[in-house]
Amino acid sequence: MNLMDLGRMLISLGAVMVLVGAGMMVIGKIPGPGKLPGDIFIRGEHGSFYFPIVTCLILSVVLSIILNLFHR
């Protein structure tokens, strides 16, 4: 490996790190799993109950699409 290849690899790694960092900043502003409207959360006197029904539905649809793309 010569210096030219090493330089390209470092630039590529830096670009990937910038994209990952920007993605993390954007994702932090989007409500994540478990915080979507429609998820059931009941807080009672002696405990709480949480069921992420909308999160489960969205996750199921996304995984079904991804698996169907790879299966074909």
Taking Cα atoms as reference points, which of 37, 63, 64 lies closest to residue 52?
Answer: 37
* DSSP, residue by residue, 31-69: --TT-STT-EEEE-SS-EEEE-HHHHHHHHHHHHHHHHH
Domain region containing 19? 1-30
Based on the fold, state whether residues 38 and 69 are members of the same structural domain.
yes
Based on the fold, state whether residues 37 and 26 are members of the same structural domain.
no
Q: What is the pLDDT of residue 31?
A: 63
For the chain, how many structural domains are there in total? Answer: 2
Residues forming beta bridges with residue 51, ordered by sequence position = 40
Q: What is the pLDDT of residue 64?
A: 93
Based on the fold, state whether residues 26 and 38 are members of the same structural domain.
no
Based on the fold, state whether residues 8 and 36 are members of the same structural domain.
no
Based on the fold, state whether residues 41 and 23 are members of the same structural domain.
no
Based on the fold, state whether residues 36 and 70 are members of the same structural domain.
yes
Confidence bin at 61 (pLDDT 50/70/90): very high
Q: 0.75 exceeded by the pTM?
A: no
pLDDT in tens, 1-58: 788 888 889 999 999 899 888 877 777 666 666 677 888 888 989 999 888 888 888 8
Based on the fold, state whether residues 60 and 37 are members of the same structural domain.
yes
Q: What is the pLDDT of residue 11?
A: 92
